[in-house]
Structure 1
Amino acid sequence: MKSFWCEQAWLPDGIASRVLVRADRGTITSVSTVDTIPLGCERLYGVVLPGFANAHSHAFHRALRGRTHSDGGTFWTWRDRMYAVAERLTPESYLHLARAVYAEMAIAGVTAVGEFHYLHNGGNEMGEALRQAAVDAGIRLTLLDACYLAGGIGQPVTGVQERFSDGTGERWAARVAELREDGNTRVGAAIHSVRAVPRETLSLVAGAFPDRPLHVHLSEQPAENEACLAAYGLTPTELLHEAGALTARTTAVHATHLSTKDIGLLGSAGTGACFCPTTEADLADGIGPARELRDAGSPLSLGSDQHAVIDPLLEARGLEHGERLRTGERGRFTPADLVAALTNHAAVGWPEAGRIEVGAPADLVAIGLDSVRTTGCAADQVVLAATASDVAVVVSGGKVVARNGVHETLGDVGKLLKAVV
């Protein structure tokens, strides 16, 4: 049995003070307010939020941080550099890199990550490396194994892309079926994009694992839309709708360049939208219609994608700031809306998580209210003031995994990253 006393806690019905959270075997068993702090419990000061969900990650992209800006370039030239990193990785080196990246997430408050995994290397060894890396870092993993069969619409895979491909949709499904879930890892599926999965295979991938999350890169670049319209006379969203890929278990990642019809199709299906504001800014992707999607019926989640920054609080703030920039209006999302996106574990197949209530995993993120960034801010607006530097204590599954930017078992994450990057 573990006990955590929270100076203030973000509960489902609002912020409460002097909250005692008890947990057994990683699950919250009681939540109450107390006048006297019990002996032996962990004290969490500031405001305590549920653990954060990073709904979209490519762990190996972290090796590119700060190395792609010298000549400006485009999304497509950035992709060439990403391919160069992918070509070098082995299961062993990927384990070391992903462990460091997931540890960086842990100290920032992430307690579950959706890893959009297409670096298959001909088998499941790379996926197993990711599984072990998450265990070592103390966060839960959803391995979203991506089907990747083409180098573009009507184009074969070439070069390093061959490491991403299983050759056919049937072979992809057979390989993914060999992946096993456990207490720390769940398995989902992904359509890499309409560029990488042919029209005739989309339905197979969408229906291969009907009880698991399905993610897809969607309309990140205008060139993707243009190619899809030229080849099929449909937008990528319309093509996915035709294939039966838009459901409530689906999450569309980026969803940046959408038509009004696209937004309606996504919302009416209950398909989620994962925004990655720091990556979308870094790659000059654009700003997607987040508020319109939410209003249409699409639940929102957040991801750090290529890890130009690993700071979930900045991603949440970026969601609102993007809306302000494109509309000229403030308050497009309330702080509570941003926290809901920040803690949307259902997007990665952990629907029981993301709340401080009985039956949920004991995932807690204590954010200090006494730093140069947060001093004076209202507790219920901390998401619009704090950064990962203000994350004081992170609890995942009832276990403290990080304190003040240092990982409890892996130590100094900066040194860990330096050794592998």
Structure 2
Amino acid sequence: MSDYWCERAWLPSGIQAGVLVRVSAGAIVGVSAAEPPPDAHRLGGLVLPGFANAHSHAFHRALRGRTHAGGGTFWTWRTAMYSLAATLDPDTYHRLARAVYAEMAAAGVTCVGEFHYVHHPAGGGRYADPNAMGEALRQAAADAGIRITLLDTCYLAGGIGTPLAPEQQRFSDGTVEAWAARVGAQRDAPHARVGAAIHSVRAVPPADLPAVVDAAGQRPLHVHVSEQPAENEACLAAYGRTPTELLHEAGALTPRTTAVHATHLSAKDIQLLGGSGGGACLCPTTEADLADGIGPARELLDAGTPLSLGSDQHAVVDPLLEARALEHGERLRSGQRGRLAPAELVAALTNHASLGWPDAGRLEVGAPADLVALRLDSARTAGCLPAQVVLAATAADVHTVVASGRVVAVDGRHELLDDLGAVIEELWA
């Protein structure tokens, strides 16, 4: 049993001062107003539930600060991404992801959804363990002390009506049946759950979508949706439907589905997503970095679609900045302030249900003991109302992170962070 005394805590009932959180076997077993016991770990400032990074491509972190010369578009950026992917093997991917997940943990992330499609050796073929790359990611999360949902991705085509390019061969199992068999060989663990993903309607033809949904079963199912206008245009030209309409007709929009990006949606798309019971994961810093656009966050919420947040390509690993960018995007496209209340931003920050961890993301009995303590006296947060600090704080204000009852980062430092630069330089050598 261990005790964490919070100067202020973000509880389901609201912010409360002087809260004792009791922890046993990685879970919260007590939450009560109390004076700090002498042996309690004191957490000053405001303590929030652990953050969920619902959309990650860990290897993209090695592109940070290397793709900005000469401008370009999402599609030209993708060429650099393919070159990077070709350098990965299970060992290098483990080392890179371990450091990336440590960077996340130091920023307050206690669970990551890894949208994983680098399955096989470069050029195709198979590793002795067909899930070696996925296992590298699972182990990386365990090393960093956070939970992971491995969103194992089905990737069958190079584009609508286009075969796989040579650089995409390692992403594909060839058929839905082969993908499903490989995914089915994986098992959940205390820190890891197996999810599924449709890369996009560009990479999975319509005839194969129902089989992917069937194979996913009760697992979380994520899918890139309408990140770029060109994706919508190609889908409409080929099928006379938007990507969302295509997914709806294939039965791929369910309460377990999360539409990632959901940037360029029609009014009908928004209603279909809202009616499905599923969610949407927006990645504001990546969508800005890649000039994707600004998604309709307010309209999605109003249609009944819960939001989550992801750092995607990790141009920035700062969940608080993602949350603020969500509101700022709304302000920029609407000309209005306060489109998303601070509590709605925190709900998106702590949406673990989209990753198959429905008990997480709350400071209450039975939830995983994930606590993120923010300073309220830094140069950024001094004078803030605690209920509004999400609109001022950054990852630099995270002073203590507890994941499943264990302190994993203090003052922005994690023991694995020092490896990150060396691994990236090795990949680009």
TM-score (norm 1): 0.98
In structure 1, the partner of 2:88 is: 89
| 1:8 aligned residue | 8
In structure 1, what is the equivalent of residue 32 of structure 2? Answer: 32
**What RMSD in Å do the two structures reach over aligned CA positions?**
0.6
Structure 1 CA distance, aligned partners of 2:213 and 2:180? 10
Paired letter, 2:60: H
Q: Deviations over 1:347-396 (max 9, x none)?
A: 11100000000000000000001111001101111100000000000000
- Once residues 6 and 274 of structure 1 are traced to their aligned partners in structure 2, the CA distance between those partners, rounded to angstroms, is 30
Question: Pick from 170, 175, 181: which aligns with 1:168?
Answer: 175
SS of residue paired to 1:88: coil
Tell me if 1:203 matches 2:243.
no
Paired residue for 2:261, among 254, 260, 281?
254
Q: 2:420 aligns with which of 411, 417, 420?
A: 417
Q: In structure 1, what is the equivalent of residue 427 of structure 2?
A: none
Using the alignment, how far apart are the partners of 1:271 and 1:359 within structure 2? 24
- 1:344 paired with 2:347, answer no
Report whether the alignment pairs 1:219 with 2:218.
no
Give secondary structure in 1 for the equivalent of 2:346. helix
Report 1:14-413 matches (<5 A). Answer: 14-34=14-34, 36-121=35-120, 122=126, 123-407=130-414, 409-410=415-416, 413=417
Quick one: distance in 1 between partners of 2:420 and 2:377? 28
SS in 1 for 2:345: helix
Q: Give distance in 1, aligned partners of 2:156 and 2:234.
A: 16
Could you list the per-position Cα deviations for residues 229-269 of structure 1 after superposition, in whole angstroms to 9, with x for gaps in the alignment? 11111100000001000011000000000100000100011
The residue type paired with residue 405 of structure 1 is G
- What residue identity is the alignment partner of 2:16? A
**SS state of the match for residue 18, structure 1?**
strand
Could you say what secondary structure the match of 2:340 adopts? Answer: coil
Tell me, in whole angstroms, the C-alpha distance in 2 between the residues paired with 1:386 and 1:202. 41
After TM superposition, the runs of 4+ consecutive aligned structure 1 residues lying more than 3 A away are: none
Helix, strand or coil at the partner of 1:318: helix
State the Cα deviation string for residues 30-67 of structure 1 (Å, max 9, x = none).
Answer: 00011x31021100000000000000000000000000
CA distance in 2, matches of 1:332, 1:405: 30
> Which secondary structure does the structure 2 equivalent of 1:78 belong to?
helix
State the identity as a percent. Answer: 72
* Structure 2 letter corresponding to 1:166: D
Counterpart Cα distance in 2 of 1:94 and 1:64: 14
Q: Distance in 1 between matches of 2:8 and 2:363?
A: 12
What TM-score, normalized by structure 2, do the two folds share? 0.96
Q: Which letter does structure 2 place at the counterpart of 1:61?
A: H
1:194 maps to a residue whose letter is: V
Instruction: Indicate the SS of the match to 1:332.
Output: coil
DSSP 3-state at the match of 2:30: strand
Q: 3-state SS of the aligned residue for 2:45?
A: strand
What amino acid does structure 1 have at the position aligned with 2:262?
Answer: A
Give the letter for the 1:347 counterpart: S
**How much has 1:209 moved relative to structure 2?**
2.2
Which whole-Å CA distance do the structure 2 matches of 1:398 and 1:219 have between them? 38
1:77 partner letter: T
Q: CA deviation at 1:200?
A: 0.6
Distance 1:6 1:344 in 2: 21
Aligned equivalents of 1:308, 1:380: Cα separation in 2:
27
Cα distance in 2 for partners of 1:120, 1:179 equals 13
For each residue in 1:55-114, what CA deviation from the matched residue of structure 2 results, as whole angstroms up to 9, or x when unmatched?
000000000000000010110010000000000000000000000000000000000000
Distance 2:269 2:368 in 1: 35
Determine the C-alpha separation between the residues in 1 that align with 2:47 and 2:257. 29
Q: Tell me, in whole angstroms, the C-alpha distance in 2 between the residues paired with 1:271 and 1:399.
A: 31
Q: Deviations over 1:167-216 (max 9, x none)?
A: 00110001000111100000000000000001110111112122110000
Distance in 1 of aligned mates of 2:239 and 2:152? 26
- CA shift for structure 1 position 226: 0.6
